[in-house]
Structure 1
Amino acid sequence: MTSIVPFLPQDSAPGELQEAAVELMKLDAALNAHIPESLRAPLKFMLRAVNSFYSNRIEGNPTQPAEILKAQLNKEKDLEDDLFEIKHHIDVQRYLSQQTLDPLEICTSGFLTGLHKSFYEGMPDKFLSVENPKTKEKINVVPGEFRTRNVKVGKHVPPEHEELTRLINWFSTAYRPDRIFGTSRIFAAAASHHRLMWIHPFMDGNGRVGRLFTDNYMKYCANLGGYGLWSISRGFGRDVDAYYKALAMADMERQGSGDGRGILSDKGLLKFTEYFIDTALGQVKFFYELLDPKRLNERLDIYFEMRNRQALTGVSGEILPQPRPEVKTIYKELLSTSSGTLERSEIGKMLNLGEKTIRTILSQMVSEKLVDAQPRKPVKLSLSPNSVEILFPRLW
């Protein structure tokens, strides 16, 4: 038996915390119902880059948002190490989004090692070793394998490597979503994030794997259907010191007989759970306000006005050309459609223009990543890296 409290019991959580968990679930549902269909796929695409930026920022990656947006726009092949790491992280998220995941698998050893393997496979050799800060020994990182030696991370001494199999087995049972109900799933999402980080199962990559795990737990196991339209990693990464402080609080050993029955402090877990839910609430509220249709429409007008005046600079530093007047009309119509798509024939009738002219207009929009217009398929809205700063201020 593992003497670790898995998460705060719902009936013993403070009333304010229970109310905050309920509010999180309500706001997530409201956000999920609030987002136009046309924005869902492009927003999730953009948020993968935002997630990667913040998750890697926590680990010390200095890449700036403009570099990520430029790489997305130009599809550069020869990337600097830090940018390559972020792009690979984005690719892992894209891969996961294309899978049909079983909620009962999210906490298992197979899923966790699969996350680690996906992140490290294909990485250059320089990413596949870590250095012992005392002995300077180079230690190999094997993709998808738990660590086979003991480690120390700052002040935290994770469990010995011989304990990993038992602890991960406990983890997979403790957080099974079919055994957790109501707001307890929110408490479990918070606690499982810390407990996985505390176990520290891999030689390297535990933070990024832990946050990828939590993204999927929130989406598939915690009844947060809007997750993916907002991101908790963004909240963690905007105040890294607060994130590490909250993790350290939950790392504390039990402080006497009044601090729970497990080996770790219940008071520390409460503090981390409060931090986690407060951070999640902040992110849901931010994205709800950011995606308010009226405000978004106003920012869209500003974007096209600046484009018309050739007063907007792209992520590569060039002055963006003046678009044809029809571009704004098509973009706004796509944003407002219930399906999120338009047939070329619909666009032609709407603008009273011929097929050749429509093809020319769409070609310009595709080149700027304002739309996705594949042959013989409906035209879909896209989010150009050049428009993000205006349409979604403070996203990064």
Structure 2
Amino acid sequence: MENTFNLDFDKFQPESMSEKSKSLQVYDQPHQFEPLLPTQDLGELGETTRRIFEKSSALKSAASPQARAALREIVRSMNSYYSNRIEGQSTHPVNIERALKEDFSDKPDVAKRQRVALAHIEAERELEGIVATEAGALSSGFLKHAHESLYSRLPESDRLTDDGRIIIPGALRTHDVAVGRHQPPTSASIPQFLKRMDDVYGRLKGVDAVIYTVAAAHHRMAWTHPFEDGNGRAVRLQTHCALHLISGGLWSANRGLARDRERYYETLDNADSARQGDLDGRGNLSEKMLWAWCHYFLDLCEDQVDFMASMLDLSKLKDRMRAYLLVRGATDGITEYREEALLPLHTVAAVGSVSRGEFIRMTGLEERTGRKVISRFLKDGLLKSDGHRAELSIGFPLASLSILFPNLYPEAAAAVLE
């Protein structure tokens, strides 16, 4: 079982190899966080990026449009869970599902975490709808919009920091802070740092540079620490949206970052390092460590798209659907879960929606029995329909994920202990 943590992104950076190479200092000029992009050994980063583009393109045509849409909703909920887990403030996936149905816990702390999770999901959906280009998503304006979109959905009581300050949605911080051993830029200089990032990341062109630019922006935005609190969540929302045109919402960097959070923080922390000699670029910060962060991030993205491709392999999905029908039928004693339903279920996942009559004919069952099967699947969320006469499309209920998409969202199958 994975380790869990209770540390806040906005306040924590782990000890690392960079400890001896940096000391607290005042940052108030943008040249102090150069370079904003790696400039050497870009061939390897470009090759990985091209593979991610190719694999993502194939993934976006896998399965039916309805199956991909259902999977996007799972990924969106999963993003919320994992981003908040990174902050040590997650709630169980079942509680997130309940929050989506406006069913909130009687326990104040759990209810607060449900509200934060729901705000993240709604903000992500809104932000995805306005992404036009990767460069646009990397702008400081988009980052401020992400922060505002998230925190404006929360009541003031959910926007209090540990020291009693109120988080104002989208507002830049107005005082100086320390984040572990890192001293972010002075509050008065934040606009200058954001402008410099806009100047550099706004020039993004060409395929090869896209993902390492997203990675570099992720670090430099977090390093700048522009907000009172919520920097980690806002930056990860920005990163998700910058990758959305590539991923189509079908794979998530958040999942990879959360599943090895110690390494995520360590690699981020290393990229804070001061320049280490004449062979380490020309900026104030280490280009080697920025390159290492970008390399780590690219490998993580490729791993995630590979994983999702294996989940949407239709022949393997068919086998997992058969297993799910057998398990629910045998273990839970639900007579409607029967192997005759495999063909139409796989059809709606692979090809698209079908009428109720077509579904029943594909089962080979009598109409009355077939209608009972459909009714049960609709109740359980394995099928979806806009009305009692509308066509049927595939659904992936939370309870099915451990079999249909093993290891995608394993926390969803854990017992609710909150």
- Same-fold call, TM cutoff 0.5: yes
Residue 146 of structure 1 is aligned with which of 140, 156, 172?
172
Does the aligned pair in 1 maintain the 2:79–2:252 contact within 8 Å?
A: yes
Does the aligned pair in 2 maintain the 1:62–1:82 contact within 8 Å?
A: yes
Structure 1 unaligned runs (5+)? Answer: 133-137, 312-318
- Residue 129 of structure 1 corresponds to 160
- Residue 124 of structure 2 corresponds to 93
Change in CA separation of 1:114 and 1:320 when aligned onto 2, cut-off 3 Å: farther
Letter matched to residue 382 of structure 1: G
Letter matched to residue 335 of structure 1: A
Q: 2: CA distance between counterparts of 1:20 and 1:228?
A: 19
- Residue 243 of structure 1 corresponds to 264
* Structural mapping, 1:307-386, within 5 Å: 307-309=328-330, 311=331, 319=332, 321-323=334-336, 325=338, 327-337=341-351, 340-347=352-359, 349-350=361-362, 360-375=372-387, 377-386=390-399
Change in CA separation of 1:95 and 1:17 when aligned onto 2, cut-off 3 Å: closer
Q: Secondary structure at the match of 2:165?
A: strand
Q: 2: CA distance between counterparts of 1:361 and 1:285?
A: 34
Does the aligned pair in 2 maintain the 1:327–1:365 contact within 8 Å?
A: no
Residue 72 of structure 2 is aligned with which of 28, 32, 44?
44
Q: Secondary structure at the match of 1:80?
A: helix
- TM-score (normalised: structure 1): 0.85
Q: Secondary structure at the match of 2:54?
A: helix
Letter matched to residue 205 of structure 2: I
Share of identical aligned residues, percent? 32
Q: CA deviation at 1:350?
A: 4.2
* Structural mapping, 1:58-73, within 5 Å: 58-69=86-97
Q: Secondary structure at the match of 1:251?
A: coil
Change in CA separation of 1:71 and 1:131 when aligned onto 2, cut-off 3 Å: closer
Structure 2 unaligned runs (5+)? Answer: 1-28, 410-418
Change in CA separation of 1:320 and 1:54 when aligned onto 2, cut-off 3 Å: farther
Q: 2: CA distance between counterparts of 1:62 and 1:273?
A: 27
Does the aligned pair in 1 maintain the 2:71–2:250 contact within 8 Å?
A: yes
Residue 291 of structure 2 is aligned with which of 270, 291, 298?
270
Q: 2: CA distance between counterparts of 1:146 and 1:264?
A: 24
* Structural mapping, 1:1-396, within 5 Å: 2-3=30-31, 4-9=34-39, 12-13=40-41, 15-69=43-97, 76-78=103-105, 80-97=111-128, 99-103=129-133, 105-132=136-163, 138-176=164-202, 179-220=204-245, 224=246, 226-309=247-330, 311=331, 319=332, 321-323=334-336, 325=338, 327-337=341-351, 340-347=352-359, 349-350=361-362, 360-375=372-387, 377-396=390-409
Q: CA deviation at 1:52?
A: 1.2
Change in CA separation of 1:68 and 1:16 when aligned onto 2, cut-off 3 Å: same
Q: 2: CA distance between counterparts of 1:23 and 1:269?
A: 21
Change in CA separation of 1:141 and 1:180 when aligned onto 2, cut-off 3 Å: same
Change in CA separation of 1:227 and 1:243 when aligned onto 2, cut-off 3 Å: farther
Q: 1: CA distance between counterparts of 2:360 and 2:257?
A: 46
Change in CA separation of 1:62 and 1:102 when aligned onto 2, cut-off 3 Å: closer
Q: 2: CA distance between counterparts of 1:256 and 1:15?
A: 23
CA-atom RMSD, angstroms? 2.5
Change in CA separation of 1:241 and 1:102 when aligned onto 2, cut-off 3 Å: same
Q: CA deviation at 1:147?
A: 0.9
Change in CA separation of 1:352 and 1:244 when aligned onto 2, cut-off 3 Å: closer
Change in CA separation of 1:111 and 1:201 when aligned onto 2, cut-off 3 Å: same
Does the aligned pair in 2 maintain the 1:362–1:373 contact within 8 Å?
A: no
Does the aligned pair in 1 maintain the 2:63–2:350 contact within 8 Å?
A: no
Give the length in aligned residue pairs: 372
Q: Secondary structure at the match of 2:227?
A: coil
Q: CA deviation at 1:303?
A: 0.4
Does the aligned pair in 2 maintain the 1:341–1:381 contact within 8 Å?
A: yes
Q: CA deviation at 1:321?
A: 3.0
Does the aligned pair in 1 maintain the 2:138–2:239 contact within 8 Å?
A: no
Post-superposition CA distance 1:226-253 (Å, at most 9, x none): 3411111111000111000011111112
